[in-house]
Structure 1
Amino acid sequence: MLDALSTPKQGLAASQAPVRKILQQCRNAFWFAFGLTFVIDMLSVTPLLYMMSAYDRVLSSRSGVTLVSLTLVVIAFYVFWSALEWIRARLMVRLSLRIDWDLAADVFDASFRRYVGRKNVNVHQLLGDLLSLRQFFTGQPALALMDAPFALIFIFIGAIFHPYLAIFAAAASLLMVVVSYLTVKVTSPILKEANDANAEASRVAAESLRHAESTLALGMLGAVRNRWYAQHRHFLTNQVNASEATGLMGGFSGFLQKALPSLQMALGVFLAMENLITGGMIMVASMLISKSVSPIQKLMGCWKEIIQARQAYERLNELLAHDQQATNTMQLPAPTGRVDVADAAAVPPGHNKAVVSGIHFALQPGQVLAVVGPSAAGKSSLVKLLLGVWKPAVGSVRLDGVEISEWSHDEVGPLVGYVPQEIAFFEGTVAENIARLGEVDPEKVVHAAQLIGMHDAILTFPKGYDTPLGETGFALSGGQRQRIAIARAIYGMPKYVVMDEPNSNLDEVGENALIDTVQALKANGSTVVLTTHRPRLIGTVDMMLVLKAGQQVAFGTAQDMFEAMRRLQSVPSAATASDAPAGEGAAASAPIPVTNAQPALVAVAGGAA
């Protein structure tokens, strides 16, 4: 059964296949279930023997005692048979739960990491694959695979009656196997493509629902529907093709299922006419063909589920085998906030061109860095590097000497703070969201809310800190969302905080609260990195880094950068400089300390002015 799930095109060695490892750990239980299946299939001969005995012995002797005794024995066998089937069903349920328990957390984590790295990944499908695999082991598909080898039992019984019966049953089984193989060969690629298209259509629909309000407001429903329907039509086309191919092969197999029992009975009657078998054996012979072909028929009936389980098995193996696991197995001390970036470059997942490169700076605990620059300069991409969400294509980004992209986020994540540009909250209360869905420490929650000036506002919510948030929760204004996101970032006063445009939706009161928060973090010894266009926030920082077109053009203390800005503002305009003597122009521009930062600093200086 394990081999039925594994295929050569999977391309993963056993040592690199996490799901296969789990299944191999359960191999003793699988062998036990396989042994139970053997006993159950042996017991399935009971009705045949009962029928043959009733025809050949009871009818000829007309003995009621023999009939009653034979019937009681058969009933006892039936009870034992049913008990074994119940034990096997319970065992398979336990096996499926063991697989789910061992894989669910890893699949969930890997799906999220894969989604961060590749935005077109269907997380719902990956999580659904685990359900498909579990249902495979608890349903008929796994039992059909176990039953298939025991078709030989009934062929052997036919050989006991007469070799011709065995030969006929073997030929019929082989013919059904060939038909089943051709059906799989034709339909499997089409079904896989149809399933992938259906998953993509579901992903497009789910993504569209996230932007439902903008879609309706901007009249984009038709365009969104067309994008979804293109994928849905691709799915329907492949599904129809697969159904037609299955129907063609299924028609032929249906003919065989109807014709073979009658042909088997005809052969039995012929052998009885030749006095080679008894009359009771004729009835048994007619049932032998059904018993020998039945496992193949079960396989054909469950083949769609088997294909889906195999595809789920392959996807889960690929997901878990290629998941970027943390290289540090030993828990490291909490970070103090020392940041070292050495010639780092960022390449977005799925692309081959760097959007940020040549980043080189260092920060000590307690320093505040402002990352400035025009739009599309690469500030948000740099933020992803600094948080370890993106792994540097070249260079390194280290927090306390550890490459942050290789530091387990489960370990370091609770110890850092992050405010994204696109703010979203989970289904939960205000307190739970501020506490990052972990154990709520009321003192830390209130302290974080007070720092950003949201405590009094939260108390006015319908249920205060217990007010539900999320898609169906309490509607917040843009400024409230941003300030609660900042409270979430500073919960527990982490030593390393990164904020991407934290004041984009804040009014003057909110901006003053943010400045107080940054100063409190600095006093706490926390390292703070923030991107901003607002001059007021720039005035609270220690260091400044200027980006332009994805390149670092300047880095230094805020005082030096502001001095450079003032000197740039004092440089004569192009028209004035052309009228001035060459020596004066040279003298005016010579004192500027950061000449390669002039274009970006002019933009910053213009904003500050």
Structure 2
Amino acid sequence: MNPVLSSPLLAIVRGFSAGYAALFAFGFFFPFLFMAMSLVPMGIIERVGTSRNASTLTALIVIATVLTVTYTLLESIRSQVLDRMGTVIDQRLTRICFDAFNRDKGSVGGGTAAQALSDLQTTRRFLGGPSLSALIDAFWSPIFVVAMFVISAPFGFLILGLLGLSAAMSVATHYAVTGSLKAAQRCDGEANEFALAVSRNSETLRAMGMLPWLTDRWYQMHRDGLGWRHAAQTRAARIGLVPRMLQNGQMIIVYGLGGFLFLEGQIHISVLFVILMLMMRAQGPLQYLINNWSQIQSFVLAARRLDVLLRAVEGAPRHLQLPMPTGPLVVTRLVGGPQGLEKPVIQDVSFVLHPGRIMGIVGPSGAGKSCLTRLLVGIWKARRGTIVFGEQDLSHWGQDDLGRFVGYVPQDVEFLPGTVAENISRFDPNASSETILAAVEEAAIHDIIRGLPNGYSTRLGMGGHILSGGQRQRLALARAVYGAPKLVVLDEPNSNLDAGAEQMLGRTLRSLRDKGTAVIVVSHRVSLLGFCDDILVLNEGAVQALGTREQIFNRLPRFRGETAAAPPPILDLTHNKGYGT
């Protein structure tokens, strides 16, 4: 177990401390360059206005041009450096975060994958964007205050008061909008997840006329988010009203105060132009922060959520790379179920499955069959009990290492955007044509490949070729047997197959058995149980019967003679009273 850092995100950013420190020091020179630029109008008024010398005017214009070009180039360099640093930070975080919230849904701190990606983008934009530049400039704003005091004490107190008011408004805005922004982000995340769920099932929902109701439901969630965001913006606008009024009227304030000081002989009239430029530059960064405070607050909230995610990554154990499993699958007093469910679905399940044997798992709907398969392949963690695979407890395996020796076909099959070959090979960058063809041969799906428009290069996923339910299951079977796994778990692999395709599935099962693969099949169809060596009867999460196929068939006489029926009958266990232990 690795030590968990108090703020992993801060630790990553600390690696760029030299760069940020350089940018921070770099910002020290911007006020002096700007003040030098602001002296040019005063020189034009005082020197050119009295001497009417064209050479002096030309020299001042050249000086102003050089200062302006230098200032602009330095700002551009700073923006490019910040953008580059933000990109590098994103490169360091993206892979970690993407892997973490897809590996363990509980690690995202109760949020969603979409929220985690949004948080990552928000963090990158802040650490490499104009908001950070404004914070640096705001830190050096007191230089302008000192300059104002040097020019004239009354103007120094004026700018000091305006900056203090802006800072107070920033703090007030922070406390006023925090709660509303949190609620807005929560509503936006829920609305986005709901929209994605509808999009994934749009054809079915459209066929049943559900889209108008679902649109109303989504809009209500979306409107709630807009309402909270509007509330935050309204509060921020009200708090910032006074600073904006002062900013819009500062020209009148400066000219009015300057006029009195000029009449009293304390300043020259040309100083007013310098003071006005310095005041605008001094207040600019703070005013930017006030107007964009919601972005800063969003960054703070996003950084906290990313820290939760990164702490889970830092605290995760590092597994040794274990050798290929060669022994049986031994399940002992297994208890488990979905995360967050108080009562476990699987209750005290035990069995042994040796290599080269096929176990069928049957039971009524809701008995926990799919939950058991998720526990067996490591998707969910067991609450109690052990699952030993190849003389190693399942918890000792790294998920990536274990996955190379496990094949899994879930009830709901989906494919990622990519070609048929890529999906079959599990997107393995080192996949060879031989290993892909071997999986296709094992799953006996040559007929499906031949019928596709571009064969192995046919695109699947969003915007790609649409497969039937049976085709999806058979392609998923090829993906499951890719790489010659030692354990294959099939959850209702024949629910969409016709009699011919089911015979091909049976051929695959026999081939896997002959090669020494341990196979688990969940099915309601009695005909598929004819290929099984052992049968486990599950009901309400507990084992009600376990034995060889002959033993279970003898205890349940109604199965006799049905295994060869065509079409395969559906096994109805809900009313059977003959399940014993």
Asked if these proteins are the same fold (TM beyond 0.5), I'd say yes
CA deviation after TM superposition for structure 1 residue 418, in Å = 0.4
CA deviation after TM superposition for structure 1 residue 288, in Å = 2.9
The aligned amino acid for 1:129 is: D
2:534 touches 2:547 (CA, 8 Å); kept in 1?
Answer: yes
The aligned amino acid for 2:152 is: H
2: CA distance, partners of 1:601 / 1:458: 45
1: CA distance, partners of 2:337 / 2:440: 36
Residue 82 of structure 1 aligns with which residue? 72
Cα 1:468–1:542, aligned 2, differ >3 Å: closer, same or farther?
Answer: same
TM-score, normalised on structure 1? Answer: 0.86
CA deviation after TM superposition for structure 1 residue 383, in Å = 0.5
1:568 touches 1:598 (CA, 8 Å); kept in 2?
Answer: no
Residues 169-203 of structure 1 show CA distances to partners (whole Å, capped at 9, x for unaligned) of: 11111012112222232123212312321222122
Does 2:474 match 1:474? no
Does 2:479 match 1:488? yes
Residue 225 of structure 1 aligns with which residue? 215
2: CA distance, partners of 1:327 / 1:364: 29
Match of 2:500 among 493, 496, 509: 509
Query: How is 1:135-534 mapped onto 2 (pairs within 5 angstroms)?
Result: 135-323=125-313, 327-336=317-326, 338-405=328-395, 407-439=397-429, 440-534=431-525
The aligned amino acid for 2:10 is: R
Residues paired across the two proteins, number = 566
| Secondary structure in structure 1 of the residue aligned to 2:240 | helix
2: CA distance, partners of 1:548 / 1:424: 28
2: CA distance, partners of 1:455 / 1:168: 82
1: CA distance, partners of 2:559 / 2:442: 37
CA deviation after TM superposition for structure 1 residue 326, in Å = 5.4
1:379 touches 1:547 (CA, 8 Å); kept in 2?
Answer: yes
Query: How is 1:45-124 mapped onto 2 (pairs within 5 angstroms)?
Result: 45-115=35-105, 121-124=111-114
Cα 1:313–1:208, aligned 2, differ >3 Å: closer, same or farther?
Answer: same
The aligned amino acid for 1:446 is: L
| Secondary structure in structure 2 of the residue aligned to 1:602 | coil
1:55 touches 1:279 (CA, 8 Å); kept in 2?
Answer: no
1: CA distance, partners of 2:491 / 2:54: 90
1:51 touches 1:284 (CA, 8 Å); kept in 2?
Answer: yes
| Secondary structure in structure 1 of the residue aligned to 2:75 | helix
1:129 touches 1:312 (CA, 8 Å); kept in 2?
Answer: yes
CA deviation after TM superposition for structure 1 residue 524, in Å = 1.6
Cα 1:94–1:329, aligned 2, differ >3 Å: closer, same or farther?
Answer: farther
Residues 403-449 of structure 1 show CA distances to partners (whole Å, capped at 9, x for unaligned) of: 43563322222331001111111222222211112244222222222
1: CA distance, partners of 2:223 / 2:537: 49
Match of 1:602 among 570, 574, 578: 578
2: CA distance, partners of 1:330 / 1:44: 59
CA deviation after TM superposition for structure 1 residue 150, in Å = 1.3
| Secondary structure in structure 2 of the residue aligned to 1:279 | coil
Residues 200-236 of structure 1 show CA distances to partners (whole Å, capped at 9, x for unaligned) of: 2122112112121221222222332232122122123
2: CA distance, partners of 1:137 / 1:505: 50
| Secondary structure in structure 2 of the residue aligned to 1:529 | strand
2: CA distance, partners of 1:525 / 1:429: 30
1: CA distance, partners of 2:574 / 2:546: 12
Moved more, 262-271 or 195-204: 262-271
The aligned amino acid for 2:448 is: A
Residue 548 of structure 1 aligns with which residue? 539
1:548 touches 1:600 (CA, 8 Å); kept in 2?
Answer: no
Unpaired runs of 5+ in structure 1?
Answer: 1-12, 570-596
| Secondary structure in structure 2 of the residue aligned to 1:366 | coil
1: CA distance, partners of 2:106 / 2:42: 66
Residue 580 of structure 1 aligns with which residue? none
Cα 1:77–1:240, aligned 2, differ >3 Å: closer, same or farther?
Answer: closer
2:4 touches 2:311 (CA, 8 Å); kept in 1?
Answer: no
Cα 1:470–1:295, aligned 2, differ >3 Å: closer, same or farther?
Answer: closer
Normalized per residue, the structure richer in helix is: 1
Residues 517-570 of structure 1 show CA distances to partners (whole Å, capped at 9, x for unaligned) of: 12211222211112122223223223322211111223333343334335999x
What RMSD, in angstroms, separates the aligned Cα atoms of the two structures? Answer: 2.8
| Secondary structure in structure 2 of the residue aligned to 1:358 | strand
| Secondary structure in structure 1 of the residue aligned to 2:411 | coil
1:117 touches 1:349 (CA, 8 Å); kept in 2?
Answer: no
Residue 34 of structure 1 aligns with which residue? 24
1: CA distance, partners of 2:559 / 2:269: 111
1:111 touches 1:123 (CA, 8 Å); kept in 2?
Answer: yes
2: CA distance, partners of 1:401 / 1:476: 39
| Secondary structure in structure 1 of the residue aligned to 2:546 | strand
CA deviation after TM superposition for structure 1 residue 450, in Å = 2.3
Unpaired runs of 5+ in structure 2?
Answer: 561-572
2: CA distance, partners of 1:52 / 1:119: 58
| Secondary structure in structure 2 of the residue aligned to 1:391 | coil
Query: How is 1:538-577 mapped onto 2 (pairs within 5 angstroms)?
Result: 538-566=529-557
The aligned amino acid for 1:602 is: G
The aligned amino acid for 1:438 is: D
1:261 touches 1:289 (CA, 8 Å); kept in 2?
Answer: no
Cα 1:117–1:422, aligned 2, differ >3 Å: closer, same or farther?
Answer: farther
1: CA distance, partners of 2:189 / 2:287: 29
Residues 466-508 of structure 1 show CA distances to partners (whole Å, capped at 9, x for unaligned) of: 2222243323232222111111100121111111111222222
Cα 1:307–1:25, aligned 2, differ >3 Å: closer, same or farther?
Answer: same
| Secondary structure in structure 2 of the residue aligned to 1:499 | strand
- Which structure 1 residue ranges, 4+ long, deviate > 6 Å from structure 2? 116-120, 597-601
1: CA distance, partners of 2:31 / 2:89: 26
1: CA distance, partners of 2:580 / 2:347: 21
Residue 579 of structure 1 aligns with which residue? none
Moved more, 138-147 or 451-460: 451-460
CA deviation after TM superposition for structure 1 residue 99, in Å = 0.8
